[in-house]
Structure 1
């Protein structure tokens, strides 16, 4: 598998993303449902500047550069062989960057990356590391993704962004990772999250707590996950690769991590 040449798909169907996704062998209804889901994570919507954005990615050689990252991290992590689809990012979306420069979403068997004409190639590497880490961990865990709960979700995010820090540098870690004080993280954990770790992804409150919707601070679940992983790593001295396949419960076994 590896990087799929979606630049060619975009040449033909950039104005009709649903039809473009049908090139994956999907039926129209399935492609429409997938496109709606991908847009919620930052995939572009056709606009006046879409052609410019596509040409900018081509000029920056996005597909070749991402292939370099794919080969690097697949070898380093002994990761899965999965297709990686690249599309422009939605200009007003992208939860992994305050500047809406990049985003992505991962499944156990495929990855979608949404990019802009980012001047710093490390930003592209950072989003690849984050998403490919998710995919690699999914393939290591003996658990069906449908069974993931809130604890799994926050640990997924914490581990992926810890990997960004390790391989790309702290300056490429998403802003949400350091958005809240240790005091607030512990307070929110104890008041709202620690008793809801069983929630499945299908439960409405799962995303409210993970993404910080409603009355909860933005991306608080992500931030708590990063904090837990950082503390666990400090206490145990483990590497990114050593932590990658650990059961999520391992990260909160010690009272020293988040307190009682």
Structure 2
């Protein structure tokens, strides 16, 4: 599979915009891009796929996109080479990888990625080479971990989600340096994280379904990004106490037990 030729799809989309004045750009995006993704989403409609990907960062159909800018920074080549390297390093699966321009509505960052068990999507603007490699590694680490867990997204526990994010950030730190880890990982002291862990996370640690983990990961009533921070510290302290060797094929419980976070 490897990196799909989405630059060719995007050029087709732009050409169709010029010659289909009477057709909505949203319909063109749906037919030219999302129609090609039906198998990835197990038969979901192109309209459902379009909505899903737009929530993750896919450019809006009316936005002006610059494909040449992404081609000039060798986005497809860089990701392809990194995929070959990490696939061998992590004994990872051979999945399709889709690169698209990120929406201009994404003002906080110039990048986003989303990993599914059978595919990976990157939504990007102009990035440094190492930044793009780190983004891909974070998402591909998710894919490798989900393959090991062998659970549906509705079966994944809160502990699994925390470890999932922690593993990805620690992999980025190991391969590309702390410059490219998420900035919010330093928001809270270890003592504060342990306190929140005991009060709010431990009682719900086995709750299943990614939709039920949003509050814990991103915050709201809880502090912002707290789950990401706790997951990172669980994995980081496990590595400190043991090693990072074959970490993505250890159970979530084993990683937690070997960390500096209490079980009760």
User: With structure 1 as the length reference, what TM-score do the two structures score?
Assistant: 0.88
Match of 2:254 among 239, 244, 250: 250
| Residue 215 to residue 65, structure 1, CA distance change in 2 (3 Å) | same
C-alpha separation in 1, matches of 2:260 and 2:38: 49
Aligned residue pairs total 249
Superposition CA RMSD, Å: 2.2
Alignment partner, residue 21 of structure 1 = 34
Larger deviation: 189-198 or 125-134? 189-198
Aligned counterpart in structure 2 of residue 108 of structure 1, from 103, 109, 117: 117
Match of 2:22 in 1: none
Does structure 1 residue 51 correspond to structure 2 residue 65? yes
Give ranges in structure 1 of 5+ residues lacking alignment: none
Query: How has the CA–CA distance of structure 1 residues 188 and 66 changed in structure 2, closer, same or farther, with 3 Å as cutoff?
Result: same
CA offsets, 1:25-48, max 9 Å, x none? 469962222222222222222344
Measured after TM superposition, the shift of residue 4 of structure 1 is 0.1
| Pairing 1:122–2:124 present | no
Partner Cα distance (1:259, 1:126) in 2: 31
SS of alignment partner, residue 18 of structure 1: helix
Moved over 4 A (4+): 25-29
1:216 aligns with one of 208, 214, 222: 222
Cα distance change on mapping 1:259 and 1:23 into 2, 3 Å: closer
Aligned CA distance change for structure 1 residues 133 and 194 (closer, same or farther; 3 Å): same
Distance in 1 of aligned mates of 2:177 and 2:259: 29
1:13 CA drift (Å):
2.5
Partner of 2:100, secondary structure, is strand
Runs (5+) with no aligned partner, structure 2: 15-24
Q: Decide whether the 8 Å contact of 1:210 with 1:221 is kept in 2.
A: yes
